[in-house]
């Protein structure tokens, strides 16, 4: 392979056909260029999606309720399903293995007031573990704890935007804010990676709000995370079990889609994965098709090269060149041209990604890049492609009869 004579011949042959080699080499380089850019774009989209979803713990499940749509178990349709506090305990007892964190949610709207500033906000009355499920980052103070729940404290963790609206630059921690006339002490301020809207809300202890609003044990919905070691299939199996259990518990028809709704993050995640997977396949397919055009081009120039060198190959055979050696010569030349032009395409794609990549910041697109395995695969493809491109011309060359090639007249 590292035979100086062979390389001398390859370089001679390329030198003699500079334009032709360039034009066909260009098509291979272009094919690889597009292939890499396509894959990088798909990768960028994937990164963008994951970034969007990263807001919440990726192993979370939300159990919501609604009105039934089917009559079942002696109940008429259109019955409102209302979850209660003991549903939380029930899940904890039923799935000790699967469960990681759990919290009930209770929603309320409030007009909040501090001194002369007022604003209307959503309050989510939750339990302490909700911080982990929602990945809430407390920048100052603390989150709701068990004590707050037990003593039904009137405390609140407010979003960064709420703090700005009501307190401006003043210190908020320890101050009292009025929610619908009732004073709540601010114990923490949080930020959210997701969006600004999330920072316009307020967290308060679940028990406190249940007490204020009619001393009920109603909850609006349940958020939980499952064992983070679970695979997608295991996670989906778990959420199915949850759904079945809740439907039985509330006597909802198994076919009813609206009475009990269990939403699993993993499911959405798997949808995105399969979506980007399909895009990936499309990217590879389109790239390869373009590449094939280039490879055919290489095959084409090799046929010409062989034809032009028929006589020379005949001389070589008369001097004792074996067919295998002729095949090697032609294929090596083809692989050399293919690989070289492919690497140039790869290089340009890489340069463009390096320049453009970091400057793209759109919600659905982030950090487009190709990893080493793509580069490696592309290299293998190029070499294999080069062999295939050279194969037919090489066979042709090997079959040249010296007697025909040497016919002078």
Partner 1 sequence: MGSNSLHVLKGINFSVKEGELVAIMGSSGSGKSTLLNILGMLDELDEGSYTLDGVPIKNLNETKAAQYRNKFLGFIFQSFNLINYKSAAENVALPLYYQKVGRKERHEKAIKYLEQVGLKQWSSHLPSELSGGQKQRVAIARAMAAEPKVLLADEPTGALDSKTSYEVMDLIQKINDAGNTILIVTHEPDIADMCKRIVHLKDGVIVEDKVVEQVRAQQYV
- Judged by the rule CB under 8 A, the positions of this chain that interact with partner 1 are 4-5, 12, 311-312, 315-325, 398, 401-403, 406, 408
CB atoms within 10 A of CB 105: 22
Residue with smaller CB distance to partner 1, 157 or 302:
302
Note the helical H segments in 204-309: 206-212, 232-249, 265-308
Closest separation in Å from C-beta 339 to partner 1: 23
From 34, 11, 76, 6, select the one nearest 342 (Cα to Cα). Answer: 34
Residue with smaller CB distance to partner 1, 18 or 80:
18
SS3 67: strand
Residue with smaller CB distance to partner 1, 5 or 255:
5
Closest separation in Å from C-beta 330 to partner 1: 15
Residue with smaller CB distance to partner 1, 200 or 309:
309
CA dist 220 to 66, 87, 183, 267, 287, Å? 10, 11, 24, 22, 50
Are 294 and 31 a contacting pair, CB within 8 Å? yes
CA-CA distance, 142 to 189, in Å (whole number)? 8
Q: How buried is 21 (Cβ within 10 angstroms: 0-12 exposed, 13-18 middle, 19+ buried)?
A: buried
Closest separation in Å from C-beta 317 to partner 1: 6
Residue with smaller CB distance to partner 1, 247 or 309:
309
Which token pair is 367?
A: 């950090």
CA-CA distance, 280 to 258, in Å (whole number)? 35
Closest separation in Å from C-beta 1 to partner 1: 14
- Looking at the DSSP bridge assignments, the partners of residue 102 are 224
Give, rounded to a whole angstrom, the gap between the first and last alpha carbons of the chain. 36
Closest separation in Å from C-beta 11 to partner 1: 10
CA-CA distance, 51 to 44, in Å (whole number)? 10
CA-CA distance, 99 to 238, in Å (whole number)? 9
Closest separation in Å from C-beta 366 to partner 1: 53
Closest separation in Å from C-beta 2 to partner 1: 12
Closest separation in Å from C-beta 303 to partner 1: 20
Residue with smaller CB distance to partner 1, 138 or 395:
395
Residue with smaller CB distance to partner 1, 234 or 407:
407
Rg (CA), the chain: 34
Are 146 and 251 a contacting pair, CB within 8 Å? no
From 201, 190, 200, 75, select the one nearest 142 (Cα to Cα). Answer: 190
Residue with smaller CB distance to partner 1, 102 or 398:
398
Residue with smaller CB distance to partner 1, 71 or 403:
403
Closest separation in Å from C-beta 406 to partner 1: 6
**Maximal C-alpha separation, the chain:** 112
Which token pair is 231?
A: 């695979």
């Amino acid at each position: 392979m590292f035979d100086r004579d062979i390389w001398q011949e390859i370089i001679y042959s390329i030198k003699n056909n500079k334009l032709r080699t360039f034009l066909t080499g260009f098509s291979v380089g272009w094919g690889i260029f597009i292939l890499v850019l396509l894959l990088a774009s798909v990768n960028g989209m994937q990164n963008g999606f994951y970034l969007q979803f990263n807001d919440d713990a990726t192993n979370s499940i939300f159990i919501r309720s609604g009105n039934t749509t089917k009559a079942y178990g002696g109940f008429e349709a259109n019955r409102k399903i209302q979850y209660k506090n003991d549903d939380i305990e029930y899940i904890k007892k039923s799935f000790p293995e699967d469960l990681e964190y759990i919290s009930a949610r209770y929603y309320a709207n409030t007009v909040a007031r501090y001194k002369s500033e007022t604003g209307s906000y959503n309050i989510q009355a939750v339990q302490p573990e909700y911080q982990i499920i929602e990945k809430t980052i407390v920048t100052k103070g603390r989150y709701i704890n068990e004590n707050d729940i037990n003593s039904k404290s009137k405390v609140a963790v407010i979003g960064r935007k709420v703090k700005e609206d009501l307190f401006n630059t003043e210190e908020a921690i320890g101050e009292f804010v009025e929610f619908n006339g009732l004073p709540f002490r601010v114990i923490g301020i949080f930020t959210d990676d997701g969006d600004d809207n999330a920072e316009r809300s307020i967290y308060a202890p679940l028990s406190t709000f249940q007490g204020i609003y009619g001393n009920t044990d109603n909850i609006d919905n349940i958020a939980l995370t499952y064992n983070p070691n679970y695979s997608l299939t295991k996670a989906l199996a778990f959420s199915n079990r949850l759904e079945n259990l809740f439907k039985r518990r509330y006597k909802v028809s198994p076919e009813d889609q609206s009475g009990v709704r269990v939403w699993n993050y993993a499911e959405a995640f798997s949808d995105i994965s399969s979506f980007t997977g399909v895009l990936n396949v499309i990217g590879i397919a389109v790239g390869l098709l373009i590449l094939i055009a280039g490879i055919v081009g290489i095959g084409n120039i090799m046929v010409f090269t062989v034809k032009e060198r028929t006589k020379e190959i005949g001389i070589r055979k008369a001097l004792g060149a074996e067919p295998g050696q002729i095949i090697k010569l032609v294929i090596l030349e083809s692989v050399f041209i293919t690989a070289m032009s492919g690497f140039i395409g790869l290089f340009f794609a890489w340069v463009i990604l390096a320049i453009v990549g970091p400057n793209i910041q759109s919600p659905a697109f982030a950090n487009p890049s190709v990893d080493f395995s793509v580069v490696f695969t592309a290299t293998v493809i190029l070499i294999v492609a080069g062999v295939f491109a050279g194969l037919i011309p090489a066979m042709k060359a090997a079959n040249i009869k010296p007697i025909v090639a040497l016919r002078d007249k």
